Structure formats: C-alpha cells, structure tokens
Copies of this chain bind each other. A is one copy, B any other.
Amino acid sequence: MLNGKKSFRINMRSKKITNVKFPKEYNLLAGRSLISKILLDEVKPTCNALGPNNKLIIAPGLLGGTVSPCSGRLSIGGKSPLTGGVKESNVGGLAATKLSKLNIKTIIIEDKPQEDRWYAIYISTKGVEILEEPEIIGADNYSVSEYLINKYGKKVAIISIGSAGEKQYRSSAIAVTDMEGLPTRHAGRGGLGALMGSKRVKAIVIDDKNTQGTFVDDPKTFKDISKEWIKELVVTKKILTTKGTANLVTPMNKLGCLPTNNFREGRFASADAIDAENLQKIIRERNGKQGIPCHPGCVIRCGKTYNDAEGNYITSGMEYETLVLMGSNCGISNLDTIAKMNRICDELGLDTMEIGVTIGVVMESGIISFGDGEGAIKLLEEIKKGTVLGRLIANGAEITGKALGVTRIPTVKGQSISGYDPRGLKGTGVTYITSPQGADHTAGNALPGRTGYRPETQEVIDVQEAKGQAELSRDLQIMTTVCDLTGLCFFVGTTKANMERIAQLLNAKYGTRLTMDDVIQLGIDCIHFEKEFNEAAGFNRAHDRLPEFFYLEKLPPKDLIFDVPEEEIQKTLRF
C-alpha cells in the first residue's frame, strides 16, 4: 500500500499537469521528508528562490487522514525565499486530511507563468485543474476563503496567500482554512507565501467530495492504538486544551528567557498582561472560544478565538509565539493591540513571528520606541500601503536590521529566532543554530523536562546549563522530524514512547514491520537530505551559530550568555 498514492506535477508555465511516479526509495517519504528529498533531487540549490527553478511542494504526512490523533498536519515546502535554504513549514487546518482522503501523496508546483496573470488550483477526485479566479486577486486571506467557500461549498479546504505573498515579500505565509472555514492556520515560516506568489497561484481549493476513508491495512490494531493514545493525550495535554500555547508565558518569564525589547531582557515586567490567565479572562468576557481543534482528529485542541470588546471576532489564538514576539519583545502588553497586529498579519498573509521580531528590530533602530503599540500597528499599515518601510518590514528581520543599521538582529540563517531567548533555553538555542530550517523552535524545542530517546539523553537536564544541550537538541530535532513526516502535531510529545507508538501505527496502516529505530532513521534521513541541500545552497559550518550578541551580551536578570561550546555542537549534530 505504500506506493498506491497519487502525486501531481503542475507546471505553471505550460499549464501541464502530470502524474508523478516516484522510485521505490520514496515509499516511506512523506510530509517534510518528501519535500526535502524532492528539493534535493529536483531543485538546483543555488536557484533564485523566487525564480522559475524553485518548486512549491505540498505533502500530508504518512498518517494523514487516519484516526490517529493529531495526524492532520500539512507540510508545505520549497527553497526558502527568506533563508535561501531548505524549508518545510508545518500547518494545521483541513487541507492535509482532505489531500489524504483524495489519496494524494504530493502536489509539486513548478516553473512560473510568462504572462501577467494569476491562477487558482482546484483538486478533487477528478484530479487537478488550473482555474482563474480574478475576483480574489489582491484580496486578503479572509475574503479569499469566504469567496471560494461560497463558490465551491462549505466542505472544501482552502490554501491561500494574501497580498503579501502576491508581492513576494519574504515573510509571507500560506494560510489554510480551519474547521470553521476561516484562514487561521498558517504555514508561517520561511516566506513560502512569496514562493507561492512567484508561481502566481493565489489559492488552492481541495474538494474531497466522494472520497472514501483512508485505507488502513489493519484497522483494528490501528484504532486500538489510536484510542489509547487519545485517552492519554486528553489527560496529559489538558493544559494546552484549557490555556493554549499561552500557558508558556508565565514559566518562560520566570525562567528569564522571555524575549523582551528585542532580546535585551529575559523578563518582561508586564508579562501577566499577556499571559494565559489574562488571555482566558478576556476571551471568556467577550464570548470568544477556547479548546478548538485545528484539524479533524486533533484532541489537544489548543485553538482559541479572540474577539474585540464588542464581541466581534478578530483573530484566532493568540499563540505563545505571537503574544511574546509581538508583545514582550516589542515591549507591548496590550492584548487588543497584539490581536490587531495578529489580524493584519493574517489578512495580508505574513508570519507573525518574523514580523514580531522585525518590529522589535525597527524599535531598536529608533524609528518607533519599545512599547509603542499604536506605532507598531502603523508599521503594519505601511505594509498594506506598500511604503518603503512597509516593504522592508515585510521582508523580515535580517534585511530590515541591515537596512536600518541595527547590529542586534536576532536571526539564524536569515530567519528570526522565535519566542525563547537562547541564552535562557540553551537546548532550543542549539536547535536554532543547527536546524537546516534556520532559527525555529518547532524544529526541536528543549523546554524544561524534555528528554531524548537515547540512553544518555533520558535524564532531565537544567535548561540553563550548557552541558548535554547539544545531545538533547539532536534527539528532539530527530523526533520532531518524525512528527513532521507523519503529519503528527509535535504537541503529541516528541518522546521515545511516542516513536515506538508511531512505528506501530505505521505498521498497522501500511502492513510494514518498522521498528522504533527505523522510524527514527526516517527522521535522520530527512535531516540529512536537508543538510545536503543546504550545503549545496551555500551554507557551511559558519552559518551554524547565533548572532554575536547572544555570546557577548549578558541576558538580564540572570546574566546568562549562550555558552554551549561550538565544538560540542558541531560534533553532536554531525550525525
């Protein structure tokens, strides 16, 4: 059953659509690992990321469309317009499940139109069609999904870009509709919205009408394992269901690694204004929702909706990363301000993390001050207007910082660091440094209490001690990759026990006889593909490091510096 799925190649120059037959070695590749292998095999690593030779690749995971909990994540990838390296961005919403139900392994969008015209793609049981939808060109993500759902029915999933992606801004995200049909889920990182824009594809409609359930080789075993796992997740992940990812604000602040004022401090005096308690309180007062699943089969349900004072919907979330990078990192403590910033990014289709960090960099430059929420919203309005400063910001922190003469630019491989100061969460720092994806907590987040899968990494270590962080980050990166290639949300837990469970689920679904080690090897293989691509794209050991200030400036209040030895990182991560 491993080779029974369909794959499509869509050439946007010729408008030809072809079926792809992958060689046998592709059988166990899916999601992130499939993207990495296709990039390595088909895309010239030095190509212009926004030119005709890059490809936009969409792929659900190996467990997509099944009853396994939280298995409906979608991988979208290509050569990153932001980093210039490999990129997989992982997103919830309806798309992965519907693609899996359509028995689709991947969609590869190639080349670009020579004519000045925009397109949409329609995927159904009949195959793939290229359409024109002139009414949505220039529209924001909310209008796009509303229009297309009106036209194609309530049950379709929409993948779309806003005007930021159309303009090929390098912080552009790709939006995916959630279970309410709202474009609230985002493949945020790496500027993939710009890549989709470069192909002149405004939206993809996925219609799974008339599909049957996904084939499973041994349904009973599969269901049993899933049921048991669901039962466990409902209990162990309750804090995510009730508080959402915002639950991290208070502990990270206590730990002293909450990015504050462009990573100048690790503790934010007004942290309680942006923490989970305050967020929950406001959501309740304004009849917002909590405990929302982001995709069918999600039992962790960390989603929320945030309304304005009149009870009108503003945005989903907000997630920890947004709260912190648009909040404390900009010295902003007003949730309504952050919600407005979040909403503008959702409409335009921009990565809230990259933009939050970029606004922090603009504040560092002195153009506006830390804490100036109104100023921050005005900056986002500048993106809408397309002013020079707006264009600059929409292209991310590194370009903005360099252009404005800021030397403290918190990026790795051109992508902004996320919501954890690496001096105060050192294993995550190692992940920022070494992940082929650029700075990215979702590549292996070494939060307190995390352990690896190898005997020597089973012990819980102090997140602020240098010792053992390289090993821990390595194990977490590998296990996270396993989640990214199976379509599992990594919130299920990147643990040894879950790797074992994933092996059993894959065996039940595909009739394979994989061991835990085999599953882990799938993750390792994927990272190898990515490193090979990156090296050919121009990355070497020199790029595996944090910006200099993390090594030189002590982070208050604990006076931490990043001190995991470079040699240890290089040795450990050369697996």
Binding site for B on A (CB under 8 A): 45-48, 50-53, 167-170, 367, 387-389, 391-392, 395, 399-400, 402-405, 407, 535-540, 542-543, 545, 547-549, 552
A392 partner residues in chain B, CB cutoff 8 A: 388, 392, 403
A402 partner residues in chain B, CB cutoff 8 A: 170, 395, 399
Q: List 23 A-B contacts (CB under 8 A).
A: A45-B542, A46-B542, A46-B548, A48-B547, A48-B548, A48-B549, A51-B407, A51-B552, A52-B552, A53-B548, A167-B405, A168-B405, A169-B405, A367-B388, A388-B388, A388-B404, A391-B403, A391-B404, A395-B403, A535-B540, A536-B542, A538-B539, A540-B540
Judge whether A548 and B405 touch: CB under 8 Å: no
Give the residue name and chain of the B residue nearest to A408 (CB): B48
From B50, B53, B542, contact of A537 by CB (8 A): B542
Give the residue name and chain of the B residue nearest to A367 (CB): B388
Q: How many copies does the complex hold?
A: 2
Judge whether B545 and A46 touch: CB under 8 Å: yes
A542 partner residues in chain B, CB cutoff 8 A: 45-46, 535-539
Give the residue name and chain of the B residue nearest to A168 (CB): B405
A389 to B403, CA, bound (A): 9
Distance in angstroms from A206 CB to nearest chain B CB is 29
A400 partner residues in chain B, CB cutoff 8 A: 403
A53 partner residues in chain B, CB cutoff 8 A: 548
Distance in angstroms from A512 CB to nearest chain B CB is 37
A45 partner residues in chain B, CB cutoff 8 A: 542
A40 to B387, CA, bound (A): 42
A473 to B194, CA, bound (A): 37
A387 to B388, CA, bound (A): 10
Distance in angstroms from A107 CB to nearest chain B CB is 24
Judge whether A47 and B538 touch: CB under 8 Å: no
Distance in angstroms from A564 CB to nearest chain B CB is 15
Distance in angstroms from A231 CB to nearest chain B CB is 49
A407 to B168, CA, bound (A): 10
A47 to B542, CA, bound (A): 10
A389 partner residues in chain B, CB cutoff 8 A: 388
